[in-house]
Amino acid sequence: MRPYYFDLDQVQSRHDRAIAMARPVAWHRAPPPPRKPDPVELPQKAAALVRLWRSRLCERRELATLDHRMRRDIGVTPSDIASECNKPFWRA
- How many structural domains is the chain composed of? 1
The kind and range of the H/E element at 60 are helix 41-64
Buried b (16+ CB within 10 A) or exposed e, 8-25: eeeeeeeeeeeeeeeeee
pTM of structure:
0.57
Domain limits at 58?
44-92
**pLDDT recorded at residue 4:** 52
Per-residue pLDDT of 8-24, as tens digits, reads: 455 566 667 676 666 65
**Is 6 part of any domain?**
no
Three-state secondary structure along 5-48? CCCHHHHHHHHHHHHHHHCCHHHCCCCCCCCCCCCCHHHHHHHH
**Is 48 part of any domain?**
yes
